[in-house]
Amino acid sequence: MIGLPSGLMNSPGKPALEFVPDLLGQERWLQRVQRMVNDWGKIMNSASELGDGSQHKSKGTCSYLLWTTSLFVIVLLAVAVTGTIVFMNSSQAPPMPNGPPLIRTNQGEGNALVTVDRGDGSRINIFVDPNCPDYNKNFLQLEGAHTSLLHSLTNHDRGFKGQKGQDHSLLVNLAEQLGRLSSHSSQLKVDYESLRHGQGSLVQELNVLQTEQGRLIQLLSESQANMAKAVTSVSEALRSLQKETGSIKNRLKADLQRAPSRGARAKACAGSRPRDCSDVYASGQRDDGIYSIFPSHHPSGFQAFCDMTTDGGGWTVFQRRVDGSVSFFREWEAYRNGFGKVNGEHWLGLKQIYALTIQANYELRIDLEDFENNTVFAQYGTFGVGLFSVDPDDDGYPLTVANYSGSAGDSLLKHSGMKFTTKDQDNDHSENNCASFYRGAWWYRNCHTSNLNGQYLSGQHSSYADGIEWSSWTGWQYSLKSSEMKIRPTREENK
Ligand SMILES: [Ca+2]
Q: How many CB atoms lie within 10 A of CB 306?
A: 28
pLDDT, position 3:
36
CA distance 477 to 470: 9
Which is nearest to 443 in space by CA: 474, 398, 402, 392? 398
pTM for the model stands at 0.51
Instruction: Tell me how far apart the terminal alpha carbons of the chain are, to the nearest angstrom.
Output: 166
For residue 391, the CA-to-ligand 1 centroid distance in Å is 21
For residue 389, the CA-to-ligand 1 centroid distance in Å is 21
For residue 441, the CA-to-ligand 1 centroid distance in Å is 12
For residue 386, the CA-to-ligand 1 centroid distance in Å is 19
In sequence order, what DSSP letters do the residues of 85-110 get, joined into one string?
HHHHHHSPPPPPTT---EEEES-SST
For residue 428, the CA-to-ligand 1 centroid distance in Å is 4
Give the residue, 11 or 189, on which the prediction is more confident.
Answer: 189
For residue 426, the CA-to-ligand 1 centroid distance in Å is 5
Long-range Cβ pairs for the range 162-167 (8 Å, 24+): none
How far, in whole angstroms, is CA 64 from its chain's centroid? 143
Percent of the chain with pLDDT over 90: 44
Give the residue, 98 or 414, on which the prediction is more confident.
Answer: 414
- Whether the predicted pLDDT of 56 surpasses 60: no
For residue 450, the CA-to-ligand 1 centroid distance in Å is 17
At residue 132 the predicted structure's pLDDT band, cuts being 50, 70 and 90, is low
In sequence order, what DSSP letters do the residues of 261-288 get, joined into one string?
HHHHPPPPPTTSPPSSHHHHHHTT--S-
Residues with C-beta atoms within 5 A of ion ligand 1: 426, 428, 430
Which tens digits make up the pLDDT trace of 252-283?
A: 665 555 544 543 456 766 678 999 999 999 99
For residue 476, the CA-to-ligand 1 centroid distance in Å is 20
Helix, strand counts (H, E) of the chain: 10, 17
For residue 445, the CA-to-ligand 1 centroid distance in Å is 8
Axis crossing angle, helix 23-49 with helix 56-90, rounded to the nearest 10: 170
Q: Are the C-beta atoms of residues 369 and 274 closer than 8 Å to each other?
A: no
For residue 421, the CA-to-ligand 1 centroid distance in Å is 8
- The HSE-up count of residue 257 (CA atoms within 13 Å, CB side) is 22
- Whether the predicted pLDDT of 147 surpasses 60: yes
pLDDT, position 368:
98
Give the residue, 83 or 368, on which the prediction is more confident.
Answer: 368
At residue 55 the predicted structure's pLDDT band, cuts being 50, 70 and 90, is very low
Least confident of 37-41, 370-374, 403-407, 448-452: 37-41
For residue 367, the CA-to-ligand 1 centroid distance in Å is 29
Average pLDDT value for residue range 155-166: 71
Question: For the purposes of burial, counting CB atoms within 10 Å of the CB of 462, is it exposed (0-12), middle (13-18) or buried (19 or more)?
Answer: exposed
For residue 425, the CA-to-ligand 1 centroid distance in Å is 9
Phi, psi angles (nearest 5°) of residue 47 = -65, -40
pLDDT, position 377:
98
Average pLDDT value for residue range 290-308: 96
Q: How many CB atoms lie within 10 A of CB 479?
A: 26
For residue 311, the CA-to-ligand 1 centroid distance in Å is 37
For residue 417, the CA-to-ligand 1 centroid distance in Å is 15
For residue 415, the CA-to-ligand 1 centroid distance in Å is 14
For residue 398, the CA-to-ligand 1 centroid distance in Å is 15
- The HSE-up count of residue 109 (CA atoms within 13 Å, CB side) is 23
At residue 15 the predicted structure's pLDDT band, cuts being 50, 70 and 90, is very low
For residue 469, the CA-to-ligand 1 centroid distance in Å is 20
Return the amino acid letter for 413: L
For residue 437, the CA-to-ligand 1 centroid distance in Å is 10
DSSP 344: S
Cα dihedral 397, 403, 408, 409 sign? positive
For residue 422, the CA-to-ligand 1 centroid distance in Å is 10
pLDDT, position 389:
95
Which tens digits make up the pLDDT trace of 105-129?
A: 665 556 666 676 777 777 777 665 5
Average pLDDT value for residue range 52-73: 64
Cis peptide before 447 (omega within 30 of 0): yes
pLDDT, position 291:
98
For residue 327, the CA-to-ligand 1 centroid distance in Å is 22
CA distance 294 to 465: 36
For residue 392, the CA-to-ligand 1 centroid distance in Å is 19
Percent of the chain with pLDDT over 70: 72
Which tens digits make up the pLDDT trace of 348-378?
A: 999 999 999 999 999 999 999 999 999 999 9
How far, in whole angstroms, is CA 147 from its chain's centroid? 69
Cα dihedral 413/416/418/421 (nearest 10): 60
Give the residue, 139 or 84, on which the prediction is more confident.
Answer: 84
Return the amino acid letter for 107: Q
For residue 434, the CA-to-ligand 1 centroid distance in Å is 6
pLDDT, position 14:
37
CA distance 194 to 470: 78
Which tens digits make up the pLDDT trace of 466-486?
A: 999 999 999 999 999 999 999
For residue 432, the CA-to-ligand 1 centroid distance in Å is 4
Q: Are the C-beta atoms of residues 461 and 477 closer than 8 Å to each other?
A: yes
CA distance 63 to 362: 216
